[in-house]
Chain A
């Protein structure tokens, strides 16, 4: 009972302008409030933050003169901290946070698959070279190669479209690749990224 009275006296002194009263109130109840928050969030840094926010709210309410629960200081502060703990979990549910200090590193599964600037330029050059090489091929071979590689048609479909047998289409494809390799070797063209 004495404790409750003392709290209420300290609160009223603080409202009247005695700053030391707040220090005494914090000193008296810090362990209980801090332990309560920690028992819910199980993280020292978050506990520290919520403890601080709790007392910022207490200070603002007392200074504004909105406090009207004389004699129930500790339950009131505990309720504020409890609400802030709930806010913390709500916020984390909306925006889950992954910290990187455990065994699991989130960046090991979230890699940037985009090419960097240099590789993009090389890719464009390779594609241009291949296009020019394909253009150099005889028309019948070029036609089969484009249908097979770029339009993804089967040799049966190619033979139907071009009006030749499957074997002829296969042969043209084979010669197209041989001719491409020949030109690449002859001019020492590097087609790798």
Chain B
């Protein structure tokens, strides 16, 4: 009888991004500001 391997790898379930990636995103968010001028939107990164 054929064996079906339907169990997914536990490695995939427990994965999460590096701390550096999250820290980068939070810093990026803090640095990014969007300025509205008339109908236009300008992105500025203040680092």
> Is B12 a contact partner of A39 (Cβ separation < 8 A)?
yes
Cα of A34 to Cα of B30 in the assembled complex, Å? 22
Using A48-B18, A60-B43 as known contacts, say yes or no to A19 and B25 having CB atoms under 8 A apart: no
> Is B15 a contact partner of A38 (Cβ separation < 8 A)?
yes
In this complex, what residue of A is CB-closest to B33? A63
Using A56-B28, A59-B29, A63-B34 as known contacts, say yes or no to A51 and B21 having CB atoms under 8 A apart: yes
In this complex, what residue of B is CB-closest to A26? B22
> Is B15 a contact partner of A34 (Cβ separation < 8 A)?
yes
Interface size class of chain B, counting residues whose CB lies under 8 Å from the partner chain: 20 to 34
Residue A31 interfacial (CB < 8 Å) = yes
Chain B 9-46 against A: per-residue CB contact (8 Å), 1 yes, 0 no? 00011111110011011101110111000000101000
Task: Give me 7 other A-B pairs in contact (C-beta within 8 A), A23-B26, A34-B17, A56-B28 excluded.
Answer: A19-B26, A19-B30, A26-B22, A26-B26, A31-B15, A48-B18, A63-B32
22 A-B residue pairings within 8 Å (CB atoms): A22-B29, A23-B22, A26-B22, A26-B25, A30-B22, A31-B16, A35-B13, A35-B16, A38-B12, A38-B15, A47-B15, A47-B17, A48-B21, A51-B21, A52-B24, A56-B25, A56-B28, A59-B28, A60-B43, A63-B43, A64-B41, A64-B43
